[in-house]
Chains A and B, each alone.
Chain A
Amino acid sequence: MTDPAPLLEVRHLRVEFPTRRGRLVALDDVSFSIAPGEVLGVVGESGAGKSMTGAAIIGLLEPPGRITGGEILLEGRRIDNLPHEELRRIRGRKIGAIFQDPLTTLNPLYTIGRQLVETMTTHLPIGPAEARERAIGWLEQVGIPAARERIDSYPHQFSGGMRQRVVIALALCAEPRLVIADEPTTALDVSIQAQVIALLKRLAREKGTAMMLITHDMGVIAETADRVAVMYAGRIVEIGPVREVVKNPRHPYSAGLMASIPPLDRRVERLAAIEGAMPRLSAIPPGCAYHPRCPRILSRCAVERPELMEAGGTMAACWLYHRHD
């Protein structure tokens, strides 16, 4: 084995929410790893548990949600059981987070420049003057025009897409080892998206930053990720190299997801959509959680839960790939 030791390792992660009506299992037996310099794409329908996986890793699960099983290792060291203060320090120094909603990350009362400068002076051995120069550089790298003129703007003076780019600059400026990017380019148009994606890839390649890229944009996944994990109802249902998962998905859910991407080269009357919705956590079907929506259902699917199994190029949690030997 020549694989480098993983930078991030998640083993059998389980997250639960205690509620009045009993415990809800939001993540169930989630395992994966990311090597230094590797980009793992995470896709799946709303509510599949993508953001929750990211939040568990950075220790920002919203209470009463909590980790009830498994472990999370960063550079070989467990971080899921650290005291709050220590985790906060590691988060600031080693993990950069880009969240779905830029407004929750940016402080509306401070200028963009001040927020960037404070983040850098807290985590890097540099003074405010150098931090300000670097801040301008980061804003330019994420494609903010006239960065030097606009660094003293407040968040509300930027358009939605520009705010999102500021959030990206903020997450990267302290040079983290692991970046968790939750829908980082969703609010961006294609040209800026290309620029931001190129920046993220360059960071992974040149600085060996490991990246967990959560997005529903398959185009972004196709050109950025090395491997892809597809999540459904709190579990990984398929994981494998990007080419395999995007071009030749094995799991029926992955296949449905790929088919619902609107085509660019023609207009269709109705888009292919997976009928129905993902189950609520309180009503996850027995057996394979996808069985009520699955066009290829087998008789055992409603009673026995499939684990990830070899599916010829990827690992898929689906009985179609079960070999009797």
Chain B
Amino acid sequence: MEPQLAALIRQSIADRYSLFAPEALADLPDTFTITDPCISGHPIVFASRAFLKMTGYSTHEVLGRNARLFQGPRTSRSSVMEIREAIREERAVEVSIVNYRKDGTPFWMLFRMSPVFGKEDGRVVHFVGVQVPILGRRRRSGVSSCDGDRVSECVFGGSCRREVCSDSLVELGGRVLDLDSADSQGLEIEGPCEANDLEKRIAATAVSNILSVLSHYSESTGRLVCGNRCNLPGPGLLTSSLNISLGRIKQSFVLMDPYLPDVPIVYASDAFLKLTGYSRHEVLGRTWIFLSGPDSDPSVLHQVSPFRLYSFFSSFDLVMMTSKDSSSFWNLLHISPIRNATGKIAYLVGVQNEELCKNQDRQGRTPEMWQLSVVGAVKVAVRSSSMVACSSK
């Protein structure tokens, strides 16, 4: 793992929870992982002992990687999509899914995932995922994921109507086949599979145990977390779905909110932090101008008012930037307005061209093209992630 990523992962837990949290989590008997949607790639930042034992991986093999690592050819794509969408919508989800151990053996498990919210701003800080192996395979009627009316409860309804859901599942659990073939070798991997009530209870209990440990150990840092969204994200804060999409973009860029005074930075990519040497909390909320070096033309910088920023830097401009260690560097900056799903400008994106990393292999493309690809990716992310929110208004 890259040292930078390793540091982010350590911080992810340490910033929120007391020093004792990792140990307390490790002592839980449950199979679970914790992920951080704010880190690029949405990696695992904690994996329980029971989880490692179940999958056959060691800690360092899973930390820093996305949990799709455990999927394989027999994993149902619609189940993966259900998880992907639950993450995007920042809600809990429960699905049965085929995963693979390190040695390549597939197994069925009941996967239950829940977001962990920061109390102060209602932002998703982590996700908790619990994996309960399904022993013995129970076939369902053949309709994958859900059928009939249960669709609305399971796939689309989120966790609030779980009760309704599990009732009908008990019925289905009646059609149990070859319960005895509990050993995974004989386990039939084809076709749909449904967890029983006990497995569901185990998963639900595990999630609530983990959440209470997390919330307990967040008290000492003063950055409380909870299992329910307590506040709506405040202005200038991004949803975790937008964070996840932006996290996939590897280049250096910042998003700025043109409606707030001084056009503060509301998102900074990992590459941007690497480029400037600042940490995320040193950058968020500040105007990007603080980064400009002494040689930048002050008359330009000071005239910058929210919307005029864009017209100043509508194409590619060479600006001087200063990194945290006070070294200055020239940087090709490209600024572009970004619209949300309503068609209105929501952010300005500022894409830096890492002139510093000159040796970077651009595979024959001009720096301008790389910058434009970031603009494109940001446009898609912002537009799409605001579609769902708009529907509720």
Q: Do A and B bind each other?
A: no
